[in-house]
């Protein structure tokens, strides 16, 4: 772990303001800055005012980046996105009462996705608890087992002891959030009581020495590293958040790679895109003897069905302390996997095993592409170069037909994938569209994120804005190119997180393009088995939940650029040249 600077701030031991709440907040937040925290996310409230005013001074001193959001749920997912991209925990500050509960969805996602996060909730002092005092509830332990570390801090009394206690608490919180000792990063909850007077003005010089430090590095204290044998017919499965390790193992072992679109491993020569169809085929999935699983597979039924089947050895790679993916409850859980020594992935046996899957997958995808767009043929370049004007005219008409073709879900997913590059970021919301993308997009090494810890619809836009802001900050530091953060989501996911569109005065406007597939409701539920037998009106009422929101008007209300794309040509143009700043690209889709 990187060494941390613990030099006390100016006035930290001298109680620079004489107000216990303000002095404690100064000691705590300036120590967080020294420990490498860069981002503070704040939802305003009376009880947390001392923390808020210190955060504002840290922003003025360029010691921290402050993000203010009126909705605590938005704040939580914004912090999640900042941490996903930067690897550093963001601090989230709220007042007491219902404000704290609104953080729970983001805390749960951070828990299941092992994303570091530090939540500070302000609270009433002991004498005001349990007497029905206004905006007071049982906040200690609110997030239960989802918090890696949780503590209830008595109201500061003032004096030097408070400063030392605050600095110790900051160190413990950062270590727990990063998983320094446990190898299991995640959310931390600090519930801090404050007694009136709740704050005073913060002297700017009180934060002058809060020089940002380097973040401590999370130690990977995994389970034992397993060196697997070369014998069994093996596949590598990469779920959400797997990263490139899955691809590296598949290539080293000479094994097919079944990588979900949000895995970060969907690239390389061993990639099998049509893995659902092949797992369901007895000639492929039926002969698998061993599956090595990375990350959290969530986008198919075929993967868990394979892992519970008798005769299939399952090895799951998961950090120590993390809840491992284990649908059959019989997997071997390890911290890392090493390919068999001496195995040649270019041997005839390995090439035959991998090639069989890869070529079968390509054939399935080619057939599916022809079936999905039967009237749109691939361009005939011979016609384009022909000296016969009739042939050239036929080519031009075919090209025009392709440009004017109405947008389908597979077309949308393919175009978005095609226009996303390594310096961009792609965020996939929980909707039907992520499954469409998972079925068709080819291999490409790009940064993809999706909140698949709980696969909830919550906070998609907020998370993406956090990713965009952190990505831009990193690019400014390194001098690298800063790309676009594109977000593929459905109309209900947009409306569920509409509050995140509010970017108040003083807040940076991220380079984010929301690509909204608007089919008027939750068409993902049309795929449920019950949809074939339930009354259509009832299914629509309680599942599809039809909506007719004017998204263009919503965008105008929040100051976001809006445009429609109804044809393939309009879609390509909008993705190739997105507007500067936050924008919404709306794609009308048939149900």
In this chain, the answer to whether the domains covering 20-207 and 409-588 adopt an identical fold is: yes
Token pair of 321, please? 């302390």
Residues in contact with 33: Cβ distance below 8 Å, sequence separation at least 6, in sequence order: 58, 63, 64, 210, 211, 212, 213
Residues in the chain where the model's pLDDT stays below 70:
1-14, 215-224, 320-322, 372-384, 390-401
Does domain 20-207 fall into CATH 3.40.50.970? yes
For domain 225-361, give the CATH superfamily: TPP-binding domain (3.40.50.1220)
Residue 223 · residue 73 · CB < 8 Å: no
Residues in contact with 24: Cβ distance below 8 Å, sequence separation at least 6, in sequence order: 50, 156, 162, 163, 166, 192
Token pair of 254, please? 């000479």
CATH class for the domain made up of 409-588: alpha beta
Note the pLDDT of residue 54: 97
pLDDT digits (tens, 9 = 90+) for 228-281: 888 899 999 999 999 999 999 999 999 999 999 999 999 999 999 999 999 999
Q: Looking up tokens 């890696």, which residue turns up?
A: 148
> What one-character-per-residue DSSP string does 279-326 give?
HTSTTTGGG--EEEEESB--S-SHHHHHHTSTT-EEEEE--TTS----
Note the pLDDT of residue 468: 97
Q: First vs last Cα of the chain: how many Å apart?
A: 52
> What one-character-per-residue DSSP string does 167-193 give?
HHHHHHHHHHHHTTTTS---EEEEEEE
Residue 64 · residue 92 · CB < 8 Å: no
Note the pLDDT of residue 217: 55
Token pair of 400, please? 């025009």
> Could you state, in order of their start, the residue ranges of all structural domains in the chain?
20-207, 225-361, 374-404, 409-588
Note the pLDDT of residue 7: 39
Phi/psi at 336 (5° precision): -160, 160
Report d(CA 241, CA 219) in Å as an integer.
18
């Amino acid at each position: 772990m990187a060494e941390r600077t613990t030099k006390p701030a100016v006035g930290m031991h001298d109680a620079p303001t004489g107000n216990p709440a303000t002095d404690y907040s100064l000691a705590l937040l300036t120590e967080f800055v020294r420990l490498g925290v860069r981002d503070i996310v704040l939802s305003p409230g009376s009880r947390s005012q001392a923390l808020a005013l210190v955060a504002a001074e840290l922003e003025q001193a360029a010691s921290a980046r402050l993000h203010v959001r009126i909705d605590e749920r938005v704040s939580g997912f914004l912090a999640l996105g900042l941490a996903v991209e930067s690897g550093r925990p963001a601090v989230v500050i709220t007042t007491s009462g219902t404000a704290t509960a609104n953080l729970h969805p983001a805390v749960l996602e951070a828990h299941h996705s092992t994303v570091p996060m530090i939540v500070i909730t302000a609270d009433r002092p002991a004498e005001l608890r349990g007497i029905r005092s206004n905006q007071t509830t049982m906040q200690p332990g609110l997030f239960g087992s989802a918090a890696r570390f949780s503590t209830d801090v008595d109201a500061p009394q003032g004096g030097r002891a408070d400063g030392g206690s605050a600095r110790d608490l900051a160190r413990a919180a950062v270590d727990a959030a990063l998983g320094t000792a446990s190898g299991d990063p995640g959310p931390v909850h600090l519930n801090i009581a404050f007694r009136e007077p709740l704050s005073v003005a913060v002297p700017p010089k009180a934060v002058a020495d809060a020089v940002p430090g380097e973040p401590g590095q999370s130690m990977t204290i995994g389970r034992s590293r397993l060196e697997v044998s070369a014998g069994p017919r093996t596949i590598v499965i990469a779920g959400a958040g797997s990263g490139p390790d899955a691809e590296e193992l598949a290539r080293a072992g000479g094994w097919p790679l079944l990588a979900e679109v949000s895995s970060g491993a969907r690239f390389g020569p061993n990639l099998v895109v049509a893995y659902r169809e092949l797992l369901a085929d007895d000639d492929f999935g039926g002969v698998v003897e061993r599956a090595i699983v990375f990350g959290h597979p969530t986008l198919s039924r075929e993967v868990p069905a394979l892992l519970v089947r008798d005769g299939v050895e399952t090895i799951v790679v998961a950090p120590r302390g993390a809840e491992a993916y284990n649908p059959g409850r019989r997997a071997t859980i390890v911290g890392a996997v090493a390919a068999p020594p001496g195995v040649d992935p270019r041997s005839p046996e390995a090439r035959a095993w991998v090639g069989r899957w890869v070529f079968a997958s390509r054939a399935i995808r080619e057939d599916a592409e022809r079936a999905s767009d039967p009237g749109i043929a691939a361009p005939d370049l011979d016609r384009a170069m022909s000296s016969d004007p009739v042939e050239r005219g036929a080519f031009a008409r075919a090209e025009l037909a392709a440009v004017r073709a109405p947008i389908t879900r597979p077309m949308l997913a393919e175009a978005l994938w095609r226009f996303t590059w390594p310096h961009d970021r792609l965020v996939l919301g929980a909707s039907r569209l992520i499954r469409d993308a998972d079925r068709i997009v080819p291999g490409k090494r790009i940064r993809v994120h999706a909140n698949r810890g709980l696969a909830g619809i919550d906070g998609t836009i907020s998370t993406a804005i956090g990713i965009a802001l952190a990505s831009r900050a990193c690019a400014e530091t390194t001098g690298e190119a800063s790309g676009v953060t594109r977000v593929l989501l459905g109309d209900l996911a947009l409306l569920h997180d509409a509050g995140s569109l509010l970017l108040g005065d003083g807040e940076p406007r991220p380079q984010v393009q929301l690509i909204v597939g608007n089919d008027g409701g939750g068409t993902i539920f049309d795929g449920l088995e019950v949809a074939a037998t339930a009354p259509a009106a009832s299914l629509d009422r309680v599942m599809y939940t039809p909506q007719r929101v004017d998204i263009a008007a919503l965008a105008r209300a929040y100051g976001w650029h809006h445009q429609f794309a109804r044809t393939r040509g309009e879609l390509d143009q909008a993705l190739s040249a997105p507007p500067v700043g936050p924008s919404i690209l709306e794609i009308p889709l048939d149900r």
